[in-house]
Amino acid sequence: MSKPRKPKGRPISGWLILDKPVDFGSTEAVGKIKWLFNAQKAGHAGTLDPLASGMLPIALGDATKTVPYVMDGRKIYEFTVTWGEERSTDDLEGEVTQSSAQRPSEEAIRALLPDYTGVINQIPPQFSAIKIAGERAYDLAREGETVEIPSREVEVHRLTLLKCEADRAFFEVECGKGTYVRSLARDFGRELGCYGHISELRRSYVAPFAEEMMVPLAELVALEAIEDKDERLAALDAFLVDTAEALSALPQLRITEDQAHRLRMGNSIIVRGRDAPVAEPEAVALSGNKLVAIGEIASGEFHPRRVFN
C-alpha cells in the first residue's frame, strides 16, 4: 500500500491583504502568492476582475477555513462610469453593444442615487461567475450565448457621487455580498438614457481588513532578490495577518491549553465563568492569541465546528 503524498510547501497560515494591480487575475494572484510564500494551500475571499485593482484578501493554510466569513463582509469600491457606451462585459474589456450622444447632468445623477441605496434588485452581468444550469455565465457569454440571469437582492449601504466630468462620473459605494458594481454602471446608464460602463474600478476595503493593511504585489515580488531562502520567507511572513483577524466580528471565548487540546480532538468543552456567554450560534475559541476553533455555545458547552491546528 503506497504512503499518502506529503503536501508540497510550508504549512503556513494567515492572511495576506494584497493590493492587486490592474491586468492581473485573482486566480493568477493567488497562484503567485502561494508560490512566493511556498504555502501548501491558498485561496482568495472575493474575485476582483483583471481590470480592477485593490484589496484582494488571500488566505494561506488554515486561514482558508475562514474565507466564508470574509466573503460575507462589507466592501468599499471606488469606480468611474464612462457615459455614452454600454459594453458586453459592462466594463472597458467588452465590445460596444449600445451607444448614445446624450450625457447626464450632475443633478440627474444625484437624483438617481437614492433608488440604488438600501436593499435593491440587481441582475448580474452576462460576464459573471453566476451559474446557469450548471454553467458559468461568463463561459456561455464567451460562446456567444445571451442567457437570462434572474435578478437577486443585494444591499448597498452607501452610494456617493464624488465628482462629475463631461463624459464620466466618479463614485464610491459601500455594499454587501454579491453586489456587482458593473451592474450599477449598466443600470445607471440605462436609466439616464445615455448608457454607461465601468472604466476604472478599485476595491479599498473588505471587512474586517483595513485599507492600510494592503501590500502591493511589486513589494512582495521585490523580495525574490533575497538569495537566502529562510531570510526571504521570513521577510514575506512579516506581511501576514493572523488568521483570527478574519473572525474579529464573532464573540470570543478565552480557553486553557487543556481545553484547546480537547477541542482539537473534536470534543466539546464546558463553558465556565460568570461572564461566559450562555448561548451563541457562532463563536471563536482562543488559547492565548491562538485561534483554536469556531463553534456554537449552547447549554453551557462550546461545540467545535471547525478546528485549527
Write out the catalytic residue numbers.
49
Q: How many C-beta atoms surround the C-beta of residue 239 within 10 A?
A: 17
How far is residue 282's CA from residue 304's CA, in Å, rounded to a whole number? 10
